Amino acid sequence: MIGVIANSSERAVICEFFELFKTPWEFFSSDRSYEVLLCAGEGNYGQHAANVVLVYAGRKLAFDTAAKIEIVSQAKGPRMLSCKQFRIPIYGESVTFVGETGVVVQGEPQDAASHQQERGTHVVRIGYDLFGEIRTLLTTGQPEANAGVPALELHIALLRELIVACGVLLAEIPPVPAGYRLIACLTHDVDHPYIRLHKFDHTMLGFLYRAVFGSLIGVLRGRVSLKDLLTNWAAAVKLPFVHLGLAKDFWNDFDRYVELEDGLHSSFFVIPFKDCPGQNGGGTVSQWRAARYGAVDLAPIIRQLMSAGCEIGVHGIDAWCDSSKGREELDQIRRITGRKEVGIRMHWLYFEEQSPATLERAGADYDSTIGYNRTVGYRAGTTQAYKPLSVERLLELPLHIMDTALFFPRYLHLSSVEAREQIGRIVTNAAQFGGVVTVNWHDRSLAPDRLWGCVYVNMLAELKCQGAWFATAAQAVSWFRKRRSAVFENISLESGKLRTKIVCKAGDDLPDLQLRLHGGPQMHQDVAITPVSSECTLTYP
């Protein structure tokens, strides 16, 4: 059991941190004994007995003087820490120490941690504010320069490593279902379902330029195959016949997604209202943001997708800044789908600090907006669905991979090979840390002029190979809610046996949770947690 000593103002972020690091813990009580004390900031920690005392702070403490811990340097700005294979960005204040803990500041010959042992107690001083860093990640988020670093998961990994290295056995419910290595969530923002809706506007003219001239330039630069060039030219020639109703609309690729995914059940986020550009951050509108369709125009396709097991969510317009308009957007999708619980992702990923509370008031079941437009990775630093600090129930399913960020010339502008490598790193991180890989492959991205289907098919194969559970956005969020509902009622270690009773939500068709024990001769061992058997026993030699 971990006892946490911290300022009461950090209560919300501490509770959320331990929903993501699902291990037995509680706020410190003087009448309880703990194997581990996790202390943040100032305090008289020496009077409390524990096998391990971990003290986090990014400034010099009175504790440091009392414990004779020497501070070498202090920084107010960002630093990068290195620990084994981990690189952890620190965005707030930090200090360094004299010591050889293996947790070092990158580019500096100094340690970011200090480890002492006295009379059977391990005292580890870590030179940054853990909960301040978690707050930054869950509110401000990471700059694009660190997009590829799952910083929050690395903070958890470092804390786990420090505890286990001191000889403490640590029980955890990891963020991955029993029998799987990660969760894969395939989503599609529906922006342009039919090219026939666009006549001599910027969308159609942009398509013609990219299909005819952009493809040719791509061939000359070695970035586009001759086959794709001919496919795009053929589509450009066919365009007048599409408008006349004499040829199939080649942007209508919903059936192909269903075929490629072959029962993997993805999520489609549909714009609720036609010709509605909505507001931007300055209260003005951009007519380019308005869609040429509304959800009612796709009602037959929506029914087909739902019959194939797909989920329909809202591709929101004003829900991010106006809860009453958000309620109208959600209700429009509810009327068409007949589903009460509906999730949302904002068009153009519009978001602000108050958006989670605004979306919760609107009645959204979850949001999946937090991500980057211009790159891929971990804006909130995590592979997990989390609860923003300003809400009571809404969960955020972070977005990790978006096709336009990978391929657009003004963004990453990657080749197919480079995109596969970038995707592979994100999938590998999820397989290592658990959690979800949330993908957004737009509705027209399989079709001319984009033709990004090969990379998508390759990604599906990689996710399958890595042992992913494929879930709709709603299913993934529901599984994380199930994990959040799990409670360690008691935990004990007797005669080499760890015994714990875990109570968790039952009666669903979601994969089981699992219990993992870190430490001991086998380093870690897993056992499934089922509603029938919520009392789990792990035995170590």
Judged against a pLDDT cut of 60, whether residue 473 lies above it is answered with yes
pLDDT in tens, 417-445: 999 999 999 999 999 999 999 999 999 99
- The pLDDT of residue 47: 63
Of 189 and 504, the one with more pLDDT? 189
The number of C-alpha atoms within 13 Å of 185 and in the hemisphere containing its C-beta is 32
Taking a C-beta distance cutoff of 8 angstroms, is the pair 470, 459 a contact? no
Judged against a pLDDT cut of 90, whether residue 528 lies above it is answered with no
Q: What is the mean pLDDT of residues 488-494?
A: 77
- The pLDDT of residue 20: 98
DSSP string, 192-228: -S-GGG-SSSHHHHHHHHIIIIIHHHHHHTTSS-HHH
Q: What is the mean pLDDT of residues 497-522?
A: 79
Q: Tell me how far apart the alpha carbons of residues 260 and 99 are, in angstroms, rounded to a whole number.
A: 54
Question: What's CA 241's distance to the chain center, in Å?
Answer: 43
Q: What is the mean pLDDT of residues 30-35?
A: 88
Of 491 and 321, the one with more pLDDT? 321
Q: What is the mean pLDDT of residues 522-526?
A: 60
- Which of 225, 319, 241 lies closest to 278, judged by CA? 319
Of 253 and 101, the one with more pLDDT? 253
Judged against a pLDDT cut of 70, whether residue 283 lies above it is answered with no
- The pLDDT of residue 188: 98
pLDDT in tens, 185-208: 999 999 999 999 999 899 999 999
* pLDDT-above-70 percentage for the chain: 93
pLDDT grade for 540, boundaries at 50, 70 and 90: very low
All residues at 6 or more sequence positions from 399 whose CB lies less than 8 Å from its CB, including other chains:
187, 345, 349, 368, 369, 370, 371, 372, 379, 438, 440
* pTM attached to this predicted model: 0.94
- Which of 517, 525, 518, 421 lies closest to 164, judged by CA? 518
Nearest 10 degrees: CA dihedral of 527, 529, 530, 533?
80
Residue 449, both tokens: 């002029």
Of 358 and 117, the one with more pLDDT? 358
* Three-class DSSP category at 396: strand
Judged against a pLDDT cut of 60, whether residue 522 lies above it is answered with no
- Which of 393, 429, 399 lies closest to 175, judged by CA? 429
* Three-class DSSP category at 497: strand
Taking a C-beta distance cutoff of 8 angstroms, is the pair 366, 396 a contact? yes
531 φ, ψ (degrees, to nearest 5) = -60, -30
Q: In the predicted model, what is the mean pLDDT of the chain?
A: 92
Q: What is the mean pLDDT of residues 40-58?
A: 82
Of 68 and 91, the one with more pLDDT? 91
Residue 91, both tokens: 């965005």
Judged against a pLDDT cut of 60, whether residue 532 lies above it is answered with no
pLDDT in tens, 400-409: 999 999 999 9
B/e letters for 83-93, b = 16+ CB within 10 Å, e = fewer, are beebebbbbbb
pLDDT in tens, 138-172: 999 999 999 999 999 999 999 999 999 999 889 99
Judged against a pLDDT cut of 50, whether residue 23 lies above it is answered with yes
- The pLDDT of residue 499: 75
- The pLDDT of residue 225: 95
Taking a C-beta distance cutoff of 8 angstroms, is the pair 376, 147 a contact? yes
Taking a C-beta distance cutoff of 8 angstroms, is the pair 382, 152 a contact? yes
pLDDT in tens, 369-389: 999 999 999 999 999 999 999
- The pLDDT of residue 541: 38
- Quote the longest CA-to-CA distance of the chain: 85
Residue 499, both tokens: 């015994």
- The pLDDT of residue 496: 61
Distances in Å between the Cα of 345 and the Cα atoms of 185, 310, 321, 380, 411 are: 14, 16, 13, 16, 20
